[in-house]
A and B are shown apart, each in its own frame.
Chain A
Amino acid sequence: MSFVPIAGELLDLLTLFTDPTIWGKAMSLIGLVASLLSDGAEILTAVGIVVPPALAALPAAVGAEAVDVGAAILKNVRRLVSADVFGIIKNIPFDEALQLGGDVLGQLAKRAVTEIGGASNWPGSIDEVFSLIQNVLGSVWEPFVALVKHYGTAGLGKLFTLGFGEGGFLAGRVLRQGGEFNDVDKVVEGVAEIGDDLLAEGAADLSDDATKFLGEMVDDAGKNNTRVLLEGITCPAGITQVTYRKMLGLASPLFATAADRCLEALANITPGNAQDGFKKLMGTTEADAQEALKVWNKYQSHPARDHLFEVLNEISTLNKAEFAKRLELVGGIDKTDTLKKLWNLIPPEQPHRLNKLVDYVKGVPNPGDMFDFLADFALSLERKPVPLLSSLPQPSNLYSRFSYARMDHFLEGHTYKYLRPDQRLNKPTTLWPKTITPEEINRYLQQTLDDLAAKGDLPDLANPRKKTVVFGVEVQIGIENDGAGGVRIGQFFPIRDITGKTTLTKIEAVQMKAIWEIFK
């Protein structure tokens, strides 16, 4: 039983044969069938159209009226579009015009129901229905036209493949806003896929701002990364069909309760330069997105937040989450630059080489201070090859007791410039001041020999170790057999500063092992 006056049926029948456009003929056929059936889904099925979900969800009578009235309006396509768009639409074959038209009608019906607050408020007269459909026509038709213009006559085949379901509709909305994209084809494809797969029922509810941001995200971060982010966000009212709460622990505003609120919230927390960084940060894994969002929210008002994300941008995609996790363990955002410098010391694919350092630091009372101390130590090491012994200074007076001093060993064991951590992994190490030279160490050594000789206390093989204080520094000296029948000075290092004038560094074995993981 048709809801449209008999005049409408006659008109549809007439235009089915006389309308100059195939599109008009298709709409006339739908209108004619709508005059005979009272279920929107049945109408479309009768003309061979796959029923769009937007329509299938509506009450049968509401769908029928919406389709009937909508088809009557869309039939006059020439009045709805500019000449150039009409030139494209008139090339749409009959079957495709039926399917696309059906999709558009489905979106129209859905929009109309949303407009009046639900199917229960559906108008009682056909004139009111006509007025309602006219009101929402622009919100559906304009995205459709945007898609048509995007593909043009040459690309109509792609439009037919895409269709105008939730995905196509969303892609059309993105296009209608006229944003400048690096790769508009990629955006259309990505947004459409996301619309079909993830947003489904919620697509029509996205605000214009949220829709625009979605397009920018797909353009900047790629379809897959955007999907990861969207799947990770918990929006109970429906940005996704995901039912699990992956993002537990995230603070507002990411707990928005509607799809558009979620995307708008994302848009709002990514201002300026940080926006790009944030998008790139999403990476290719869910873990990346989660860690990024945690960090992002934790430091919402921190002045260094943008800088943190600039740094993260410099880190390979797969390791962003690794960096963020470690940053939290060593003291947080204030350690960004220092951690990045250490990060630069390790191969990109081996972030685990920082684990020993992080594990050690997080277990001490003041992790941030300890991290600064060990990072300064590690970053100060020059690790230059130790010069040949023959090129290094020697004490001028060895008291006819020692063949020589193993100055190379003193340098590789106790100076920033030449330290070999691999030789100091199992014992505490004291280092001379950062700027000390071999000549200065030799001066300390000569003074040590002089002082011990004056006291008659030079070491011998029976008592190979002595300690004393020279120039305000307590030092230890040790001797050994030189392998050629003599005795040499094999050990010489600082123990502690007595006067407070000399800056020595003491590194425990466990700390050295942590540093060695970075360098080895």
Chain B
Amino acid sequence: MSIRVNFCIQLRDGSGNVVQEDEIQNNFEFYAPVLHDMHVNHSLEGCVTIQSPSQDEINIWDDLWVIVQNLFFYSIVDLLNQDKSCFLYSYLSQYAHLVLVPSSYDIYIFGDDRDNVPPTSFNKTELLLAFYHCGQRYLDLLRRLKNVSESGPTFVPPHLEIEAEKAQKALEAHNLL
């Protein structure tokens, strides 16, 4: 797959830095306590990056759970099953919108945050599949964080699991999974 969708998390250590999901994966024991505290007390904010060899990079900065639920899982269902003419993503942490417009084979993306979201198009099936897998990796992270302490019985919010399942079924229905 030529399209890559990855997430990173904005740290709260005063550095202004973010940590990439690969880095978290490789050094989970180091980051787990920090991320656990952030998830409980502040929510996990960060960025989702969409990369393709032939396209400009897109960066979507927001609360990650909203990106995963709305931009990833909702859009898969809407743009595959319901054949909607467009999908509107509303940012939670800023007043801005992202628009996904499907054509026969591609999805055209543009939005208010033009510095981070240059108008770009991606192969539709590749993009939606990449959305799904990135969303699943985020849920996997939450599942691992749940084991860090006794607190947080709903570390993986049920509504996210439900929406992930809907997205999975939509992809399977179109033989994409």
Chain A contact residues, CB within 8 Å of chain B:
406, 409, 413, 420-423, 425-430, 461-462, 464-465, 467, 476, 478, 480-481, 483-485, 490-491, 493, 495, 508-510, 516, 520
Chain B contact residues, CB within 8 Å of chain A:
10, 12, 14-16, 39-40, 42-43, 45, 47, 59, 61-63, 65-66, 69, 90-96, 113, 115-116, 151-155, 157, 159
Query: Are the C-beta atoms of B93 and A484 separated by less than 8 Å?
Result: no
Give the most central of A421, A427, A484: most B CB within 10 Å. A427
A429 to B93, CA, bound (A): 9
Query: Are the C-beta atoms of B39 and A422 separated by less than 8 Å?
Result: no
Q: Is the interface of A mostly helix, strand, loop or mixed?
A: mixed
Query: Are the C-beta atoms of B61 and A464 separated by less than 8 Å?
Result: no
Query: Are the C-beta atoms of A481 and B157 separated by less than 8 Å?
Result: yes
Q: A406-B42, A462-B159 given as contacts; is B92 within 8 A of A423 (CB)?
A: no
Hey, which chain B residues are within 8 Å of A420, CB to CB?
A: 14
A467 to B39, CA, bound (A): 25
Hey, which chain A residues are within 8 Å of B63, CB to CB?
A: 478, 480, 490-491
Shortest CB-to-CB span from A148 to chain B, Å, is: 67
Hey, which chain A residues are within 8 Å of B159, CB to CB?
A: 461-462, 481
Shortest CB-to-CB span from B52 to chain A, Å, is: 21
Query: Are the C-beta atoms of B95 and A464 separated by less than 8 Å?
Result: no
Query: Are the C-beta atoms of B92 and A483 separated by less than 8 Å?
Result: no
Residue of A nearest to B154 (CB): A485
Q: Which of A427, A429, A465, A483 contacts B154 (CB 8 A)?
A: A483
Q: Which of A425, A465, A481, A516 contacts B65 (CB 8 A)?
A: A481
Query: Are the C-beta atoms of B155 and A483 separated by less than 8 Å?
Result: yes
Hey, which chain B residues are within 8 Å of A509, CB to CB?
A: 115-116
Query: Are the C-beta atoms of A491 and B47 separated by less than 8 Å?
Result: no
Query: Are the C-beta atoms of A464 and B92 separated by less than 8 Å?
Result: yes
Query: Are the C-beta atoms of A481 and B16 separated by less than 8 Å?
Result: no
Query: Are the C-beta atoms of B16 and A484 separated by less than 8 Å?
Result: no
Query: Are the C-beta atoms of A426 and B59 separated by less than 8 Å?
Result: yes
10 CB-based A-B contacts, threshold 8 Å: A420-B14, A422-B15, A480-B43, A480-B92, A481-B154, A483-B39, A484-B153, A485-B153, A490-B43, A490-B92
A519 to B30, CA, bound (A): 27
Give the most central of A409, A423, A510: most B CB within 10 Å. A423
Residue of B nearest to A509 (CB): B115
Hey, which chain B residues are within 8 Å of A495, CB to CB?
A: 95
Query: Are the C-beta atoms of B66 and A427 separated by less than 8 Å?
Result: no
Add 14 more A-B contacts to A481-B157, A484-B152 (CB < 8 A): A422-B14, A422-B15, A423-B45, A427-B96, A430-B95, A465-B90, A465-B91, A465-B92, A467-B95, A483-B39, A483-B152, A483-B154, A485-B154, A491-B63
A485 to B153, CA, bound (A): 7
A425 to B95, CA, bound (A): 15
Shortest CB-to-CB span from B9 to chain A, Å, is: 12
Hey, which chain A residues are within 8 Å of B95, CB to CB?
A: 428, 430, 467, 476, 493, 495
Shortest CB-to-CB span from B25 to chain A, Å, is: 22
Hey, which chain B residues are within 8 Å of A413, CB to CB?
A: 93
A282 to B6, CA, bound (A): 53
Q: Which of A406, A430, A461, A520 contacts B16 (CB 8 A)?
A: A520
A425 to B8, CA, bound (A): 14
What are the 9 A-B residue pairs with the smallest beta carbon separation, nearest first?
A422-B16, A478-B92, A481-B157, A426-B61, A483-B40, A427-B94, A495-B95, A485-B154, A461-B159
Q: A409-B42, A491-B93 given as contacts; is B113 within 8 A of A461 (CB)?
A: no
Shortest CB-to-CB span from B82 to chain A, Å, is: 15
Shortest CB-to-CB span from A476 to chain B, Å, is: 5
Query: Are the C-beta atoms of B43 and A427 separated by less than 8 Å?
Result: no
Q: Which of A406, A425, A428 contacts B94 (CB 8 A)?
A: A428
A406 to B94, CA, bound (A): 16
A183 to B42, CA, bound (A): 64
Query: Are the C-beta atoms of A426 and B116 separated by less than 8 Å?
Result: yes
Residue of B nearest to A476 (CB): B95
Shortest CB-to-CB span from B92 to chain A, Å, is: 4
Shortest CB-to-CB span from B125 to chain A, Å, is: 26
A413 to B10, CA, bound (A): 14
A258 to B12, CA, bound (A): 63
A464 to B39, CA, bound (A): 17
Hey, which chain B residues are within 8 Å of A461, CB to CB?
A: 69, 157, 159
Hey, which chain B residues are within 8 Å of A493, CB to CB?
A: 95
Query: Are the C-beta atoms of B16 and A425 separated by less than 8 Å?
Result: yes
Hey, which chain A residues are within 8 Å of B12, CB to CB?
A: 422-423
A422 to B92, CA, bound (A): 18
Query: Are the C-beta atoms of A516 and B66 separated by less than 8 Å?
Result: no
Query: Are the C-beta atoms of B115 and A510 separated by less than 8 Å?
Result: yes
Hey, which chain B residues are within 8 Å of A428, CB to CB?
A: 94-96, 113
Hey, which chain A residues are within 8 Å of B153, CB to CB?
A: 484-485
Shortest CB-to-CB span from B17 to chain A, Å, is: 8
Residue of B nearest to A520 (CB): B16
A413 to B151, CA, bound (A): 27
Give the most central of A422, A465, A483, A485: most B CB within 10 Å. A483
Residue of A nearest to B42 (CB): A409
Hey, which chain A residues are within 8 Å of B59, CB to CB?
A: 426
Q: Which of B10, B93, B113 contacts A478 (CB 8 A)?
A: B93
Shortest CB-to-CB span from B84 to chain A, Å, is: 16
A409 to B154, CA, bound (A): 21
Query: Are the C-beta atoms of A427 and B92 separated by less than 8 Å?
Result: no
Hey, which chain A residues are within 8 Å of B65, CB to CB?
A: 480-481
